[in-house]
Amino acid sequence: MKFTKLSTVLAIATLPFFASCASWNTATISNGLKNKNITYAQAREALENGADVKENWLGRCFLEEAAEQNRRDLIELFVEKGGVSCFEADAGKVRSPFSLFMYAYKKQDADLMFFCLKHPDKSKEVMRLQLVEVANQMFDLFVGNYSRISRGTWASEHVLSEICETGLLTDDEVKLFSPETIKAIKTQKFLKRCASGDIRHDERGYRHTGTNFIAKDAANAKDENGNSALVLFLKNCDDLREKDLEAFVSAGADVNAKSSDGESVLYLCLRHKNRSRECLEILQKAGARFTKEEATAILMKIVEEKDDSFAGFTWNGLVLQGADVNAKIGEHSLLYVAKLNNSEYASVLEDAGAKLLPEEVAQLQKKLNEDLKKAIGGGDLEAVERCIKAGADVNDKVVAKDGKMYSPLFLIEIASSGSFGYPVSKIRKLLLDAGASKMSEEEAAMTSGLRLIRALAFVPHQGWNPIAQAVKSGEINLKAEFDGQNAFHMIADLDFSEISFFREKAETIDESFIVALKNAEVNINKKSRVNMTPLAVAIENSNNIAVMVFLRHGANPNDTIPIKGAFGDAGQKTLMSFAIECYNRLVDASRSGQDIDRNVIKRANEIVSLMAEATGTKVTDL
């Protein structure tokens, strides 16, 4: 009996075992794909232990199943191990060879198509035929209807470009899809995207705007109406972002292109509802400018709205951009409106050649003169200085209520008489430095009276010393009068018994000042323009202290004042009867419910007593 070698027996015995191991590992992948629970590590281990990647236990190959489940890790593994795809000529046990490339194209999966194109092929002929088929379909799609090209990750024009670069197409086929043809397709597609207002999409995993891929080829392309891609985009996009414009600029887009309507890129950006200052700055840094008409329109808007800038564009910048500085707003020139609004940019317009219309010169001068008088009247030092710089006439006369003409210098004295803190000396200096003429003799005389009024007005607050110093320095002339009233009238018009704003009292009149007035020959019994003596004024104002002092220094208690009737003076009444009348009027007013200070009534009663004593009259009708 012959014995078989042990090694031979063992070899024969192990064949079914190893065969079953390969089948078992293949089944591991098949079942794992079917149950959608296989890991990459399990699949790789099964393949390394003999699993057949070309088997078809599911009715389709492992590669197709992995593609359906979007398992990119398994796709790369199966291709690496020789999985059936467009790169495999021998179908093996697969009755209908599966093409991963065609599958990716039908699914419009650009990433998967790029993977196939970059993977080493095993059958150039099969690959070539499929590339031609796909390329023709893509080209027809471009030429036919751009809107059918889906967005998202689909980037057909780039797939087409890479197909041409594989080297698998013939020269005639490459000519059909030459770089020029692809560029033209890209340009047309990009223009349509701009016209729709949407150039953003993701391609091949990049997260950027479409301009990063297309604008370099189509940055300056124009549609059938002559609108560039940038113009189309600015006209139609809803969401304008800085990086969109940066992409256009970096791609070399003409930032000074005009739309078919003649609008500049910068103006289109300015009018965009979502534009930002940064968007405008990007275009400006790239050299974008307005047209002359646009710059003029914006300049006019700034002038009309009395603003120094609009969206960051200043008067000066618009002038530099060529704005027409002699444009008109209605009937007036820009320069007239700027000067009328006291705009500091009026000088910019003048430097750029802006002119006033002939009729505007007189109008503007009149307005400036009126503004100067108003500023003097209000004690507005800055406004006075501004008007003088603008060319206001510092010698233009002021028409007073009496119909007389007075100089601006005299207006200072009138305005400052009733205003505490009025900057008299500073405003006077501004006018004199600007060439103001000296006051007339009449104005100088009235000015002395006004200064005396102003000095006396502050006596209840500041005491008598400041006025005494002003008399010594010669600033105040004791004999000065104003509106027919002398210093005694002015004192009679003051209140020396009320608490002032400064919480001080001026309860007495400095009699040395009264003596000084008498020595200066100021008449204590002078009648004013309305025939009132200082004593009569003091009685009317319930100024008991003034009445007492005036009587002590020679005021005539037996004087009379005119009785006012419906048609003028109707006789005379004595100061004694006038004092009684003033007192009774206050009492009656208080009894009727009017808010009359009891101290005022008390002072009026004291005046009656003083007058009775001075005239030797017995008072019976109080």
Between residues 366 and 451, the one the model is more confident about? 366
Listed range (221-230, 312-321, 430-439) with the worst mean pLDDT: 312-321
The rounded distance, in Å, linking the Cα atoms of 318 and 309 is: 9
pLDDT, position 404: 76
Helix and strand numbers, DSSP H then E, in the chain: 32, 8
Name which of 352, 345, 271 is nearest 308 in CA terms: 345
183, pLDDT greater than 70 = no
Strand partners, 108: none
Between residues 299 and 524, the one the model is more confident about? 524
**Mean pLDDT in the chain?**
77
267 neighbors 323 (Cβ within 8 angstroms): no
Quick check: pTM over 0.85?
A: no
Between residues 140 and 425, the one the model is more confident about? 425
One DSSP character per residue, 321-380 reads TT--TT-EETTEEHHHHHHHTT-TTHHHHHHTT----HHHHHHHHHHHHHHHHHHHHHT-
Phi, psi of 490 (to 5 degrees): -65, -40
Residue appearing with tokens 């005694």: 488
Between residues 611 and 2, the one the model is more confident about? 611
459, pLDDT greater than 90 = no
274, pLDDT greater than 90 = no
Strand partners, 399: 405
526, pLDDT greater than 90 = yes
pLDDT, position 576: 93
Q: HSE (CB half, 13 Å, CA atoms) of 477?
A: 11
8-state DSSP, 598: H
313, pLDDT greater than 60 = yes
Render pLDDT for 60-106 as a digit per residue (tens, 0 to 9): 788 888 888 889 899 888 888 877 675 554 445 545 667 788 888 78
Work out the pLDDT band at 202, boundaries 50, 70, 90.
Answer: very low
pLDDT, position 144: 47
244, pLDDT greater than 70 = yes
247 neighbors 286 (Cβ within 8 angstroms): no
Render pLDDT for 529-554 as a digit per residue (tens, 0 to 9): 888 999 999 999 999 989 999 999 99
The rounded distance, in Å, linking the Cα atoms of 181 and 178 is: 5
Taking residues 257-272, report their average pLDDT: 89
Render pLDDT for 110-138 as a digit per residue (tens, 0 to 9): 778 878 877 755 556 667 777 777 777 76
pLDDT, position 300: 84
pLDDT, position 149: 39
C-alpha distances out from residue 196 to 187, 234, 448, Å:
14, 10, 81
pLDDT, position 589: 92
594, pLDDT greater than 80 = yes
Between residues 584 and 190, the one the model is more confident about? 584
One DSSP character per residue, 116-184 reads HHHSPPS-HHHHHHHHHHHHHHHHHHHHH-GGGS--TT--HHHHHHHHHTSS-S-HHHHHHT-HHHHHH
Taking residues 436-458, report their average pLDDT: 79
What percentage of residues in the chain have a pLDDT greater than 90?
Answer: 15
Listed range (190-194, 222-226, 328-332) with the worst mean pLDDT: 190-194
Phi-psi region of 453 (alpha: psi -120 to 50; beta: other; left: phi over 0): alpha
- H or E, element range at 557: none
The structure tokens listed for 132 are 């031609």
Taking residues 359-380, report their average pLDDT: 86
Taking residues 237-246, report their average pLDDT: 85
| CB neighbourhood size of 14 (10 A) | 11
